Amino acid sequence: AVPGGGIKISVDIDFNLMEQNDNGFAVESKVNVKGELTVDDGNDQWESDGLDLDGIVVDIKLQGLEIFGYAYIFDNDPVYGKGWQGSLSVKVGKYTPPDDPMLTVELNAMFGQTSYKYWYVDGFVEWNTAGPGIILGPIEINCFGGGAYYHMKLESVDLMGGSNASMVTMTSGAKYVPYQPTTLGLKATVAFKTPGTDVLDGVATLELRFSGTGLQEIMFYGKAEIIPKNGIPAPGIVKFSEKLRDR
């Protein structure tokens, strides 16, 4: 260390009021304690230079209600600069059948700045698949979602693996990066299944990306599980992307 330099000590903080699979409440965070080196009469001294928070995870399980959320704070990232990214999932109602709450709401957001500002927001609402959905011919729609972004673009998507709460990747598995030519991006998502059966279960997303006043890219991607007579799911992913022009 040299005068004017610094150190950072990272501390993980866990607060848990629940056992595994029980109702309760848990919080996890990471705090950085910063120190600055100064010289006083030839003696090196470390002084406190403040605290900062890298991220926080909240997990709440109550009767008929589950809330899971996380937020990451980043600074001097080589790609994303400085900013934050967060996600929130809320599940309401008893699980009938298992793993199928009455209502699920998910929200994602990212705001940051490199040499320019950028942002991303999305969300979706899904209702219990045991209840009535919107019937369109042979399929039933049970989820609607949408989003928008500015000065960003889709870099990759892992619909089967999701994000596992990793930084800069949305809960859907989509990863966006800063991209200044984009003036606006719009996306719409639906989830679908075959009504009354488990033969087909999937999700599809349509995305439009604009530069200036011109439409630059149309993307359509999704995933589907088809369950044949042997009862073993056959997952598949479809992806279509068309660039209208480079700009």
**Of 42-56, 66-80, 156-170, minimum mean pLDDT range:** 42-56
CA 194 to chain centre: 27
Note the helical H segments in the chain. none
Average pLDDT, integer, range 187-210: 83
* 61-69 CB contacts, 8 Å cutoff, 24+ apart: 61/18, 61/22, 61/23, 61/24, 61/25, 62/23, 63/23, 64/92, 64/93, 64/94, 65/90, 65/91, 65/92, 66/90, 66/91, 66/101, 67/91
Contact 44, 35 (CB under 8 A): no
Q: CA–CA separation, 26 vs 178, rounded Å?
A: 33
**pTM above threshold 0.85:** no
- How confident is the model at residue 121, as a pLDDT? 94
Contact 138, 194 (CB under 8 A): yes
155 vs 134, residue with greater confidence: 155
Judge whether residue 117 has pLDDT over 90.
Answer: yes
Judge whether residue 140 has pLDDT over 90.
Answer: no
Max distance between CA atoms of the chain, in angstroms, equals 83
**Of 53-57, 58-62, 84-88, 143-147, minimum mean pLDDT range:** 53-57
Which residue, among 163, 190, 31, has the nearest Cα to 108 in the 3D structure?
163
CA 199 to chain centre: 28
